């Protein structure tokens, strides 16, 4: 029974129909779908009904692959949707007008300039293109990262040998996706290297 003084505060509670309870039956959760179909509750069915359907973007397979690192995939998702905290956005929030692009030291940074319009970025992409067009051993630093992992994958797919550096060879969660790449068994070598340790990259860059 509900307290009597609730009647004045929560009148709607006293007009609700009481649920029927059956002692000989087990309770079960049901879900009424978007098309009014009643079915056993599942997270998948609830998520499918609550999710607003949107068209599949052309870059979805680049980001949501089984070997990716979730943190890096999320950062790439931010970049694709132009939600990174680039300087043009920071300037609006903090009303700063004197920011300059850190790579080419010109105007305020934005997504388009950062990846494609900056002279420094263009030189980086051109260098990567040259590496992939030459038949030689290539060293990829920080290979466990998302972008670097894709570079390793592309190089292996084109038949090149790759010397990949990681911070720790013992961290299998950061390296197992590299060994799962096609051609990794034959042409991928991992090296442990750290920027703050002098000479740790010597063996990795040898013959590159």
CA dihedral 70, 75, 76, 79 (to 10 degrees): 160
Share of the chain above pLDDT 70, in %: 89
Last residue of a domain, one of 81, 99, 132: 132
Structure confidence at residue 5 as a pLDDT band (50, 70, 90): confident
Shared domain for 161 and 179, answered yes or no, is yes
Q: What pLDDT is stored for residue 199 in this prediction?
A: 86
- Same domain flag for 165 and 152: yes
Q: Which has the minimum average pLDDT: 55-69, 92-106, 191-205? A: 92-106
* Domain end call among 94, 110, 132: 132
Mean pLDDT, rounded, for 96-116: 68
CB 91 within 8 A of CB 100: no
Does residue 2 sit within a domain? no
At 131, the pLDDT band (50, 70, 90 cuts) reads: low
Q: Which domain holds residue 143?
A: 137-206
Q: Of the given ranges (12-16, 98-102, 149-153), which has the lowest mean pLDDT?
A: 98-102
The total domain count for the chain is 2
Say whether pLDDT at 62 is over 80: no
Q: Which two tokens stand for residue 101?
A: 């692009």
Residue 122 lies in a domain: yes
Question: Closest Cα to residue 64, out of 43, 85, 80?
Answer: 80
Contact 124, 102 (CB under 8 A): no
pTM: 0.43
């Amino acid at each position: 029974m509900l307290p009597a003084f609730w009647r004045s505060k929560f009148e709607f509670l006293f007009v609700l129909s009481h649920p029927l309870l059956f002692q000989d039956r087990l309770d079960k959760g049901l879900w009424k779908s978007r098309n009014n179909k009643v079915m056993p509750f599942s997270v998948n069915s609830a998520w499918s009904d609550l999710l607003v359907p949107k068209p599949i973007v052309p870059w979805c397979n680049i980001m949501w692959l089984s070997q990716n690192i979730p943190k890096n995939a999320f950062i790439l998702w931010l970049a694709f949707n132009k939600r990174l905290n680039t300087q043009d956005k920071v300037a609006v929030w903090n009303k700063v007008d004197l920011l300059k692009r850190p790579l080419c030291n010109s105007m305020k940074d934005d997504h388009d300039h950062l990846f494609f319009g900056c002279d420094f970025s263009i030189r980086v992409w051109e260098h990567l293109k040259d590496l992939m067009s030459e038949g030689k051993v290539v060293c990829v630093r920080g290979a466990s990262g998302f972008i670097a992992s894709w570079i390793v994958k592309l190089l292996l797919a084109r038949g090149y040998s790759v010397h990949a550096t990681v911070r720790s060879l013992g961290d299998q969660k950061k390296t197992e996706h590299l060994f799962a790449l096609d051609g990794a068994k034959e042409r991928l070598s991992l090296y442990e290297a750290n920027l703050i340790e002098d000479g740790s990259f010597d063996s990795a860059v040898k013959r590159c």
